[in-house]
Amino acid sequence: MARTCNVCGKGPITGNNVSHANNRKKRRWYPNLQTVRVLVEGAPRRVQVCTQCIKSNRVKKAV
């Protein structure tokens, strides 16, 4: 499963965990994805959408 938003394409970003001793270890930040029923070409489908796309009304929810 690709952890990307189907609307805006937002995906994971990488960085480091940095300890108090300044040891660095790779880590990832994942987007807040929600599975919602959305109208895609007039038909309802379940897609993974980030919460910012839901809040900004970039998707039309199926009733």
Q: Residue 1: what pLDDT?
A: 61
pLDDT of residue 58: 94
Give residue 63's pLDDT: 83
Identify the segments of the chain with pLDDT beneath 70: 1
Report the number of distinct structural domains present in the chain.
1
- One-character DSSP codes across 1-63: -----TTT----EEEEEE-TT--EEEEEE---EEEEEEEETTEEEEEEEEHHHHHTT-S-B--
51 phi, psi to nearest 5 deg: -70, -25
What CATH number corresponds to the domain at position 50?
2.30.170.40
Host domain of residue 1: 1-63
Q: What is the pLDDT of residue 12?
A: 97
Predicted pLDDT at 2: 87
For residue 9 the two structure tokens come to: 């394409």
